[in-house]
Amino acid sequence: MRRISVLAVSLVSLALSASAFAEGNCPSGYYPIGGQGVQGCAPIPGGSSGGGPAQGGVPQPPRPSGEWLTRWGAVVQSPTSDLIGTSANKTSEAAAETEARRICESEGARDCKTSLTYYNQCVAFSVPNSGKGRGSVNTAVDLATAKKNALASCNDAGGGRCVISHTECSEPVFREY
């Protein structure tokens, strides 16, 4: 009796190992391919490999789960009064310019002109601390770089140093499908 149960366990064990070996460590619905030292897996023709009947059993590439939407910013300036207007996170370049111009004009300027538009970036303004010299406006993909570049291109002719006076970012927005 003991001999029969040992024999039965041995047969079941052999059958299970033979089926695992037949797949060659490939996922369900695939079979091993390759020769000496080269191994891979290929879908079993006509078999189900997770692709479903509509795709003929062939796995499909992943589909995107959404998209990145561009966001715009603008800087508008009055050359006669040094008044400025800025905008950020607008859905179009025109909307960014319109908003920045409205802000510039609300300060009292009537000759506001667009000096800079940007998208999916940050902007930083630097000014001379002494009030003498030339300030700078720079954009970059991140705020730290925009600040660094604005300070590097600013010139304080009064012997002081430049400081960051304004920053804004218009970063892209991810919209899921």
Question: What pLDDT was estimated at residue 29?
Answer: 78
The answer to the question of residue 5 being in a domain is no
Domain coverage including residue 130: 68-176
Question: What pLDDT was estimated at residue 123?
Answer: 98
The answer to the question of residue 8 being in a domain is no
Question: What pLDDT was estimated at residue 62?
Answer: 87
The answer to the question of residue 78 being in a domain is yes
Residue with tokens 């400081």: 163
Distances (CA, A) of 109 to 84, 88, 101, 105, 141: 9, 20, 10, 5, 31
Q: Which residues pair with 82 in a beta bridge?
A: none
175 Ramachandran zone, left/alpha/beta (phi>0; psi -120 to 50) = beta
The answer to the question of residue 171 being in a domain is yes
The answer to the question of residue 41 being in a domain is no
How many domains does the chain fold into? 1
What is the pLDDT tens value at each position of the chain, 177 positions in all?
Answer: 444 444 444 434 444 444 444 456 778 777 788 766 667 787 877 655 444 445 556 778 888 899 999 999 999 999 999 899 999 999 999 999 999 999 999 999 999 999 999 999 999 999 999 989 999 999 999 999 999 999 999 999 888 899 999 999 999 999 999
Question: What pLDDT was estimated at residue 15?
Answer: 45
